[in-house]
Amino acid sequence: MEFSQEQEPDINKPIVIAAMQDMGNVGNIVINFINNSLHSKKFRTAKSQFPTYVIDNGGYIDVPEENWEYRFTDGLIIFGGGAGQPNNNQELNVLCQDVIEVSKKYDSKFIYTLGGFHTPRPLNKNPRTYVTTTSKDLTKQMVDMGINTTPQKSMITGFNGLILGFAKQNNIQGIGMYGELNEPKVPQYRAAISIIKTLEKLTYRKLGDTTSLEINAQEIEKNFEN
């Protein structure tokens, strides 16, 4: 994993929101939405040294660049998006540790991550967001706020789970938010909207108008109905 620092953001004690592509593309959708809505600026890039695939253009190939951006805006650092996750555990661990080091550098005390929560429950266009946290005390606060916590014991794999473990080991509070979805292979805009609304409630800040995400959700639902 290679890292390049492009500028030093003028920011202190930000909230960190960090997520990568996962089932339903939920992580990508939310990260891209926040960056576009809040006009964040790139300040650091992480780049994988080992591609996991090549693109055949019909007779010749291109080697894709796997990279992920650190961006900032007022009171926030946003990390992630991208077209995938690191292709091995070593790169994944290095990337998680870098997010932690960047969080410490700018004196962040809180990390949010997010992703999809696969469920067989019929959602009726109204998915819930479940949260899990880095401490029992923090989970109690979530319950007191009327926020749903994850309903059973499970393993959370990939960046969108592992980053919480790194945060806990480094005494940084963290919350993972996971939106319900039925179809992991289809972009899940309603799960993303549910997460954004929960994130707004927890951070006491408006992240943007989700009308465009609602339109995207309706388009996908039309395709399933046809």
Residue 85 in this model has a pLDDT that exceeds 90: no
Lowest-pLDDT choice from 4-18, 77-91, 190-204: 77-91
- Higher-confidence position of 32 and 88: 32
**Average pLDDT of span 63-77:** 92
Structure tokens at 98: 């870098």
Among residues 86, 76, 50, the alpha carbon closest in space to that of 163 is found at 86
**Average pLDDT of span 53-71:** 89
Q: Tell how many helices (H) and how many strands (E) occur in the chain.
A: 6, 10
Q: Any idea what the CATH number is for the domain that residue 86 is in?
A: 3.40.50.10900
Relative to beta strand 2-5, strand 41-47 is antiparallel
**Average pLDDT of span 202-206:** 95
DSSP letters spanning 64-77: ---EEEEEEETTEE
Lowest-pLDDT choice from 56-65, 175-184, 201-210: 56-65
Residue 117 has phi, psi (to 5 degrees) of: -130, 105
Residue 53 in this model has a pLDDT that exceeds 80: no
Domain count, the chain: 1
Q: Kindly report, residue by residue over 153-196, the tens digit of the pLDDT.
A: 888 889 999 999 999 999 999 999 999 999 999 999 999 999 99
Q: Kindly report, residue by residue over 114-150, the tens digit of the pLDDT.
A: 999 999 988 888 999 999 999 999 999 999 999 999 9
CB 122 within 8 A of CB 26: no
Distance CA 130, CA 161 (A): 13
pLDDT band at residue 75, thresholds of 50, 70 and 90? very high
Contacts of 68 (CB under 8 A, 6+ apart): 20, 45, 46, 47, 79, 80, 81, 82, 95
DSSP letters spanning 126-137: ---EEEEESSHH
pLDDT band at residue 225, thresholds of 50, 70 and 90? low
Residue 226 in this model has a pLDDT that exceeds 80: no
pLDDT at 88: 85
Residues spanned by the domain of 34: 2-225
